[in-house]
Amino acid sequence: MTSRGHDPIAIALAEDIGDGDITSVTFVPEHLRASARVLAREKGIIAGTSVATKVFRRVDKDLQIAVLRKDGEELAPGDIVMEIKGKARSLLTAERVALNFLQRLSGIATLTHQFVQAAANSRVKIIDTRKTTPGLRQFEKAAVLAGGGKNHRFGLYDMVLVKDNHLAMTPGVSGLAQKIREIRKAHPKMKIELEADNLEQVRAFMEVPGVDIILLDNMTPALLREAVAMRNNHIKFEASGGINLKNVRRVAATGVDYISVGALTHSAQAIDFSLEMTHGE
C-alpha cells in the first residue's frame, strides 16, 4: 500500500477550517484585499515552499504568490520567503496551515544540513528513515533532500530491509539465502539490505548472494572500521543507531557508505516563520 490518493494538504485544511473561518468572516470584509509576506524569524534552511503555495491556492486559486527563496537555501532572521496578494480573508484562513508545513519541513531541512556539515565527509551520505510523521512522509523526505541528505526507502514496498525481528523468524543463514533468491526472482531490481548486530553476522551476511547493503546497528566506531575492513565485493555499509551531531564525524570517518539518522524526521525542531499583512495590494 502506498500514499497514492492520500492528500495531506486537504486533511490539514479540513482539520483547521472545519465548517468555516468564523473569525475572519466576522471581522474582515469579504472583498477587502491585502498583501502578505512570509518571513523567517530565525536562521535555518528553507523547505516546503511548494507545499505552502499549494495550501494558499487550495484556499483561494486567485491568490497571487511569489516564492522568493528556493528550498535548500539558507535563511537569516527577517528574510522574506514568500509574498502573497489577494483577498484578506483567504490569506488569514490559509496562514496557519501554510506556516505549519513551512516550520516543520524547514526544521527537518535545517537539522539534515547540520548533520551533513558535521559529518564533514562528502563521500558518506546522510540518509533518513521511516520514522516520519504519519501522512507527511512525502513532504518530510523532500525536506531531507533540501537539507543536503539522501532518502532511504520510502516504504515497505520499494526496498527489502531484513531486521533482527525478521531474522528471528527465519531458519538460519541457509533459509535467509533461499528467501533472498526468491526476492531476486520476483523483484530483480530491488535493493536488499540486512541488519547486523555484530561482526559475526557481518561475516555471515557477506557470504549471502544477492545482498546489496549491510546495516551495522549500534556499533562503535572501532567495530564499524572492522566491519568495513571485511568488504570484499560490491556490498555497501550503513551505520545506524545512537548517531548524533557530536559523533557523526567519527562515524563518517570509519569508511561506511551511509549514515541513517531517524532524528532527521522524528526530532527536528521547527523553524519559526511569521506572516505579516498590510491593506491593499
Could you give the residue numbers annotated as active site? 96, 131, 163, 195, 217
> Which of these, 230, 226, 198, 217, lies nearest to 259 by C-alpha position?
217
**How far apart (Å, rounded) are the C-alpha atoms in residues 193 and 215?**
7
234: its cell numbers: 560490491
Residues ≥6 apart with Cβ < 8 Å to 103: 270, 271, 272, 273
**How far apart (Å, rounded) are the C-alpha atoms in residues 256 and 271?**
31
Phi, psi of 256 (to 5 degrees): -65, 160
Pairing of β 33-40 and β 273-279: antiparallel
**How far apart (Å, rounded) are the C-alpha atoms in residues 268 and 113?**
11
| CA atoms within 13 Å, Cβ hemisphere of 67 | 17
Pairing of β 74-75 and β 125-127: unpaired
Residues ≥6 apart with Cβ < 8 Å to 27: none
Residue 205 burial (CB count, 10 A): 23
Residue count (the chain): 281
Q: Is the Cβ–Cβ distance between 113 and 147 less than 8 Å?
A: yes
